[in-house]
């Protein structure tokens, strides 16, 4: 008990875990806070070797709960995590089927008596302290070391880079969005990405999952006709200076048809490939719902969740696209470049440019052979210029 007689202490546990590769080199971070004052009481982090994101997240939860119990076994604990999967499973709303996570969840449930721990999902931006600790642990592991509390700067960094107030966030968002249209005229010409989704394949009209882990279909006759039409439209505009395509057959074929019309070469970039949909490749949404209902629910609820069979999460796709974007913007400053890619990567380019949450991916319609465009300025601002334009196909 604390100084107030008869009243147990209350702690907040924030935890996170990450895997660079999923599975890959992984680590967790956890922090215990005084619920009344917000004071940091304990930091914990550990390099785990090669495990998955979800296992690392559960290990972070366990570490945080154990640290809270060491402080006061009679305390009440409120857990805050940005893993929707862990929060929903530990709250009892989702089933736990994965053999690596079942024993970890069981162990976590036994740290405190039932009813003494509550769970809350929070956005990643509000879990920076634990996230920084997890990354410190992974960085230490990459050096062949274990994380040491004496080397941690996570608490300091979080204090100086705290979650902004609503007004601060609004100002920053306004500055970023407004700068392309209202900023100073000396930023120079932007790097403009014209984003072309490939033409139809035999799987497209059937609305089947078709990612980078499936059969890699080529264009159908309809898809080739669509590529010819978009090539003619781009030739009339005359602004494209370079073409970069995903390595998959349907995008390379679409890019090749356009390139032949524009007299350009096609460069291939692995970063533009479609998400790997694991065991869902080739299935319709309804078939996935019938065969893998729990996995599908988790995937729809959390960008960290992977498709069945070890596919790629939307969070992993987002990190890959952000890195690809930065690399291509640096390589093509001031130029207009046609990027021939797929549904998820193109939606992710647009989501990142708008600063929209991951769930916005489910709220965009992107047609085969459609055009979208984003301009990237020297000050880091981005401006969406076009979305899902298909008039050239009529």
Q: Is 278 helix (H, G, I), strand (E, B) or coil?
A: helix
Helical ranges in the chain per DSSP H: 53-71, 84-90, 102-109, 128-142, 154-160, 166-182, 221-237, 249-262, 285-291, 293-301, 314-331, 343-354
> What's this model's pTM, rounded to 2 decimal places?
0.56
Q: Which residues contact 272 (CB under 8 A, 6 or more apart)?
A: 244, 245, 246, 247, 251, 324, 339, 340, 341, 342, 345
Q: Which one of the listed residues 274, 281, 304, 306 is annotated catalytic?
A: 274
Residue position matching structure tokens 């590769």: 21
Tens of pLDDT, residue by residue, the chain (394 residues): 344 334 468 999 999 999 887 788 899 999 999 988 888 999 999 999 998 889 999 999 999 999 999 999 999 999 999 998 899 899 998 888 788 889 999 999 999 998 899 999 988 888 999 999 999 999 898 888 889 887 777 766 555 444 333 333 333 333 333 333 444 444 567 899 999 999 999 999 999 999 998 899 999 999 999 999 999 999 988 889 999 999 999 999 999 999 999 999 999 999 999 999 999 999 999 999 999 999 999 999 999 999 999 899 999 999 999 999 999 998 998 899 999 999 999 999 999 999 899 899 999 999 999 999 999 987 778 999 999 999 999 8
129 classed as catalytic: no
Q: How far is CA 32 from CA 47, 79, 335, in A?
A: 19, 9, 49
Rounded to an integer, what distance in angstroms lies between the CA atom of residue 145 and that of residue 149? 13
Quick check: 389 and 366 in contact, CB under 8 A? no
- For residue 144, the Cα-to-chain-centroid distance in whole angstroms is 27
Report the C-alpha gap between 36 and 378 in whole angstroms. Answer: 44
Number of H helices, E strands in the chain: 12, 11
Tell me if residue 98 is catalytic: no
Please give the C-alpha separations between residue 339 and each of 4, 133, 328, in angstroms, as whole numbers: 63, 36, 10
CA distances from 205 to 208, 219, 247, 251, 290 (A): 8, 12, 22, 17, 20
Residue among 198, 253, 281, 306 flagged as catalytic: 198
* pLDDT tens track for 295-350: 999 999 999 999 999 899 999 999 999 999 999 998 998 899 999 999 999 999 99
């Amino acid at each position: 008990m604390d100084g107030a007689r008869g009243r147990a202490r209350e702690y907040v546990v924030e935890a996170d875990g990450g895997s660079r590769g999923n599975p890959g080199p992984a680590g967790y971070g956890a922090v215990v806070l005084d619920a009344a004052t917000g004071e940091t009481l304990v930091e914990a982090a550990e390099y785990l070797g090669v495990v998955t994101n979800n296992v690392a997240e559960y290990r972070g939860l366990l570490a945080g709960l154990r640290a809270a119990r060491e402080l006061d076994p009679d305390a009440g604990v409120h857990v805050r995590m940005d893993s929707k999967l862990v929060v929903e499973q530990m709250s009892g709303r989702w089933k736990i089927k994965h053999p690596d996570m079942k024993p970890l969840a069981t162990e976590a449930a036994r740290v405190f008596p039932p009813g003494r721990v509550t769970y809350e999902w929070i956005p990643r931006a509000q879990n920076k302290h634990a996230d920084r600790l997890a990354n410190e642990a992974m960085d230490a592991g990459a050096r062949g070391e274990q994380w040491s509390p004496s080397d941690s700067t996570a608490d300091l960094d979080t204090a100086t880079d705290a979650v902004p107030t609503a007004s601060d966030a609004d100002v920053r968002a306004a500055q970023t969005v407004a700068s392309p249209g209202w900023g100073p005229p000396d930023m120079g010409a932007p790097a403009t990405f014209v984003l072309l989704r490939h033409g139809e394949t035999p799987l497209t009209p059937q609305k089947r999952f078709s990612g980078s882990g499936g059969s890699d279909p080529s264009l159908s006759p309809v898809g080739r006709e669509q590529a010819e039409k978009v090539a003619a439209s781009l030739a009339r505009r005359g602004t494209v200076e370079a073409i970069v395509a995903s390595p998959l057959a349907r995008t390379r074929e679409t890019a090749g048809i356009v390139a032949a019309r524009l007299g350009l070469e096609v460069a291939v970039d692995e970063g533009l490939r479609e998400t790997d949909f694991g065991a869902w490749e080739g299935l319709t949404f309804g078939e996935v719902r019938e065969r893998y209902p729990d996995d599908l629910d988790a995937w729809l609820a959390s960008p960290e969740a992977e498709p069945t069979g070890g596919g790629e999460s939307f969070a992993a796709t987002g990190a890959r696209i952000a890195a690809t974007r930065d690399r291509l913007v640096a390589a093509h400053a001031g130029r207009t470049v046609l990027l021939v890619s797929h549904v998820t990567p193109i939606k992710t380019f647009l989501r990142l440019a708008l600063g929209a949450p991951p769930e916005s991916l489910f709220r965009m319609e992107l047609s085969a052979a459609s055009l979208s465009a984003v301009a990237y300025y020297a000050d880091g601002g981005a401006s969406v210029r076009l979305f899902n334009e298909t008039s050239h196909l009529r």
